[in-house]
């Protein structure tokens, strides 16, 4: 897709979102959050004369990834203000009140005029994009104004248009960056193959983030009570295919405790889970007076909120991470592995190097179907030596990858990006 196609895409996207918003809550939030967006940004930010660091995250996962860096920037450059933007409502709506960023906004849709307006208002002295999302006019405007631009925890695959014969327009985006910190050697080799040499392997700041979460674990008394004295399986970010692989085991082993956190917590999806897990109760219903005498009948807890999952893995004996039966692949395995828990995932995980490496280290296992899943559950529960080996492998892998945040901060300090 060349520049003309890109322009068409950026102009059509809001129109399509406008139509979808009539029956889709997420699209509705995307549209509503961008109404009068420049007036909103201007009213919030203009009176603040501090220098601004702009950090952009696509969604909630990228926010978690960028959080360790934002915390360090806040600590070492306290006289600066952090402006955080999101493309997705799932990021903005969950983190609009976070305490790390000084300002949180939706990113206005990319375009020549919008990018100029945004830079005129915010006037950032440093721009950081987390992992991916490459918006041409914003990146180009940063380069045009000689504002340092970093990519943090970048990941690249040869299937991306940067590396195709028709990818010249996309390669121009990469040339806008002052430096690209990528997650692994494969990504670096790909960039060098197209003569992008302002890059280095910086690791993945998600490792720093999950280690921080584990170190600052917050007990959840209701979960402790529900799980007390039982073997516990926590299944996070599940989709329908994941739940259909899990439900027979949950319905059969009624003395075990199952905590299911669907990726989508819409009413429709929760009702689907209730139909699959026969002895289930929603977390929000758990301590209502009318359920107190019935809770003994439930062995499966459905998590109907956002934000709790990263702590739930602590209570697991075994963790299952969803998404591995879908085309997009498995979700975040690190949030579970950091607690020294064996991890089980579906067959689609090759796009995520941390999942690939965790399987290679035998801290995680990939299964193809429900039968394999049940056999693996039983094997891990019955073989203590195997369980201990896999649990240790998972935790050790995460700890071995710490330090990406310090590498980025060292670069910022050595290059004096925020002191010139």
Same-domain check for residues 195 and 255: no
Same-domain check for residues 224 and 174: no
Residue 338 lies in a domain: yes
Q: From CA 362, how far away is CA 319, in angstroms rounded?
A: 14
Q: From CA 70, how far away is CA 65, in angstroms rounded?
A: 10
Same-domain check for residues 183 and 222: no
If 0-12 CB within 10 Å is exposed, 13-18 middle and 19+ buried, where does residue 170 land? buried
Residue 208 lies in a domain: no
Q: From CA 67, how far away is CA 59, in angstroms rounded?
A: 12
Summarised one tens digit per residue, pLDDT across range 143-185 is 999 999 999 999 999 999 999 999 999 999 999 999 999 999 9
SS3 282: strand
Same-domain check for residues 278 and 390: yes
The proportion of the chain whose per-residue pLDDT surpasses 90, expressed as a percent, equals 93
Residue 159 lies in a domain: yes
Q: From CA 218, how far away is CA 150, in angstroms rounded?
A: 33
pTM of the model: 0.90
State how many domains the chain has.
Answer: 2
Residue 123 lies in a domain: yes
Residue 323 lies in a domain: yes
Q: Which residue has better confidence, 288 or 186?
A: 186
The proportion of the chain whose per-residue pLDDT surpasses 70, expressed as a percent, equals 98
Q: Is the pLDDT of residue 286 over 70?
A: yes
CATH of the domain at 324: 3.40.50.2000
Q: At a CB cut-off of 8 Å and minimum separation 6, what does 286 contact? A: 222, 226, 295, 301
Tell the residue number behind the tokens 């710490």, with chain if given. Answer: 402
Same-domain check for residues 93 and 232: no
Q: Which domain does 86 fall in, by range?
A: 3-203+403-414
Same-domain check for residues 267 and 183: no
CATH of the domain at 84: 3.40.50.11720
Same-domain check for residues 291 and 223: yes
What SS3 string covers 190-224?
HHHHCCCCCEEECCCHHHHHHHHHHHCCCCCHHHH
Same-domain check for residues 286 and 224: yes
Residue 420 lies in a domain: no
Note whether 162 and 128 are within 8 A (CB).
no
Q: From CA 204, how far away is CA 182, in angstroms rounded?
A: 8
Same-domain check for residues 295 and 250: yes
What SS3 string covers 310-365?
HHHHHHCCEEEECCCCCCCCCCCCHHHHCCCCCEEECCCCCCCHHHHHHHHCCCEE
SS3 163: helix
DSSP class of residue 110? P
Same-domain check for residues 108 and 233: no
Residue 419 lies in a domain: no
H-helix segments, 46-135:
60-76, 89-95, 112-122
Same-domain check for residues 194 and 329: no
Summarised one tens digit per residue, pLDDT across range 23-67 is 999 999 999 999 999 999 999 999 999 999 999 999 998 999 999
Please list the residues that pair with 364 across neighbouring strands: 343
Same-domain check for residues 226 and 356: yes
């Amino acid at each position: 897709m060349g520049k003309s196609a890109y322009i068409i895409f950026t102009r059509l996207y809001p129109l399509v979102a406008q139509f979808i918003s009539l029956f889709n809550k997420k699209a509705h939030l995307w549209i509503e959050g961008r109404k009068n967006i420049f007036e909103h940004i201007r009213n919030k930010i203009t009176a603040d004369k501090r220098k601004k660091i702009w950090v952009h995250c696509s969604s909630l996962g990228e926010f978690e990834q960028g959080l360790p860096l934002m915390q360090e920037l806040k600590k070492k450059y306290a006289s600066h203000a952090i402006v955080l933007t999101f493309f997705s409502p799932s990021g903005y709506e969950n983190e609009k009140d976070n305490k790390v960023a000084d300002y949180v906004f939706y990113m206005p849709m990319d375009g020549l005029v919008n990018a100029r307006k945004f830079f005129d208002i915010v006037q950032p002295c440093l721009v950081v994009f987390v992992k991916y999302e490459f918006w041409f006019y914003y990146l180009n405007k940063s380069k045009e104004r000689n504002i340092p631009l970093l990519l943090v925890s970048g990941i690249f695959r040869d299937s991306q248009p940067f590396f195709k014969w028709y990818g010249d327009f996309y390669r121009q985006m990469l040339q806008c960056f002052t430096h690209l910190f990528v997650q692994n050697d494969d990504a670096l080799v790909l960039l060098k193959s197209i003569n992008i040499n302002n890059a280095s392997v910086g690791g993945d700041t998600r490792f720093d983030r999950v280690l921080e979460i584990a170190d600052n674990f917050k007990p959840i008394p209701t979960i402790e009570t529900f799980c007390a004295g039982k073997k516990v399986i926590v299944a996070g970010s599940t989709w329908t295919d994941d739940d259909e692989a899990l439900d027979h085991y949950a319905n059969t082993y009624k003395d075990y405790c199952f905590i299911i956190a669907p990726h989508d917590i819409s009413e429709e999806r929760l009702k689907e889970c209730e139909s699959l897990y026969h002895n289930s109760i929603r977390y929000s219903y758990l301590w209502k007076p009318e359920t107190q005498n019935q809770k003994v009948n439930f062995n499966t807890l459905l998590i109907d909120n956002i934000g709790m999952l990263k702590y739930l893995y602590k209570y697991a004996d075994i963790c299952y991470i969803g998404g591995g039966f879908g085309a997009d692949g498995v979700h975040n395995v690190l949030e579970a592995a950091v607690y020294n828990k064996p991890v089980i995932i579906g067959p689609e995980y090759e796009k995520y190097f941390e999942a690939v490496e965790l399987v290679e280290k035998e801290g995680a296992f990939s299964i193809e179907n429900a039968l394999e899943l049940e056999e693996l559950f039983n094997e891990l529960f019955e073989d203590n030596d195997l369980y201990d080996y896999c649990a240790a492998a998972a935790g050790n892998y995460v700890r071995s990858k710490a330090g990406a945040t310090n590498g980025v901060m060292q670069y910022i300090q050595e290059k004096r990006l925020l002191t010139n």
